[in-house]
Amino acid sequence: GLSVTGPSPFSAGGGAAGLWHLDEPSANWADALGTNTLVAAGSPSVGAGRFGPGLLLDGSSYVEKNPFSGLPLGAAPRTLEAWVNQASTTGVQGVAYYGLGTCAGGLTLALSSGVVMGGDGCTFFTAGPVLSTGTWHHVALTYDGTNIRLFADGASLGSSAYGLVTAGGALRLGQ
C-alpha cells in the first residue's frame, strides 16, 4: 500500500489547480481551493499520515475526480507532488495521474520498485535510489514544456525530454 497526504497547515500557492490534505475520514475529499472534490474508488481508509491523519491507498482503493477542471493541458508547465510512505517496494505504486487513459494523453507520477517514476502515460523513466519503506518522502514531478524532472526529498533525481500533449480527463491519486 501507499499513503499519500499533504501538510494540512499549508495552503495552495498562486496558480495551483488543487490541494488536498486527504486527512478527512469521509468518502469525499474537498480541495483547499474548493474547486474539485475527490471521491473514493474502492475502500480507502484513514491512518497515520505525515502531518496527522492520512489516506491509505493500495492501488485498488484510490481517490479520483472525473472529469477534473483547471489542470494544465497540452504542453503547459505543471508540477505534481505528494508525501508518500510506501509499505513495500514491489511493483508500481501510483502517486498521481491525470489526463486520458491513452498513450501520451496523460501525466504520471509513481514509484516503480521503490524508485521515483514519471512519464506521459505510455513512456516512463525512473531516476534516483530506491526510497526506504516505512519513511515519509516528498516526491515531485515538474514539466517545463520540454522536460520532465523528478525529485525526492528536495533533491533533483534526473530529467528526460518529453513532448506532452496532456488532454482533459480524470485525476487519480493512489492508482
Mean pLDDT of the chain: 86
Residues in the chain: 175
pLDDT of residue 122 exceeding 80 = yes
Per the model's pLDDT, the better-predicted residue between 59 and 8 turns out to be: 59
Give the whole-angstrom CA distance, residue 113 versus residue 128. Answer: 11
Per the model's pLDDT, the better-predicted residue between 122 and 26 turns out to be: 122
Tally of CB atoms within 10 A around 85? 22
Strands (E), 42-77: 45-49, 52-57, 62-65
Over range 95-113, report the average pLDDT.
Answer: 87
Over range 14-18, report the average pLDDT.
Answer: 77
pLDDT of residue 66 exceeding 80 = yes
pLDDT of residue 114 exceeding 70 = yes
pLDDT of residue 107 exceeding 50 = yes
Is 22:4 a contact under the CB 8 Å cutoff?
Answer: yes
pLDDT of residue 41 exceeding 70 = yes
Strand order from edge to edge, sheet including 28-30: 28-30, 37-41, 62-65, 170-173, 92-99, 106-112, 115-119, 124-127
**Whole-prediction pTM value?**
0.89
SS3 14: coil
Over range 5-32, report the average pLDDT.
Answer: 71
Over range 21-31, report the average pLDDT.
Answer: 79
Among 12-21, 41-50, 116-125, 157-166, the least confident range? 12-21
Give the whole-angstrom CA distance, residue 23 versus residue 111. Answer: 22
Q: What pLDDT, on a 0 to 100 scale, did the predictor assign at position 19? A: 85
Cell digits for 50? 505525515
pLDDT of residue 80 exceeding 80 = yes
pLDDT of residue 2 exceeding 90 = no
Give the closest residue to 156 by CA, choosing from 112, 124, 116: 116
Give the whole-angstrom CA distance, residue 145 versus residue 137. Answer: 26
**How many CA atoms does the CB half-sphere of 58 hold within 13 Å?**
9
- Ranges 37-41, 68-72, 115-119, most confident: 115-119
Q: Interior CA angle at 150 toward 32 and 28, to 5°?
A: 25
Cell digits for 87? 509499505
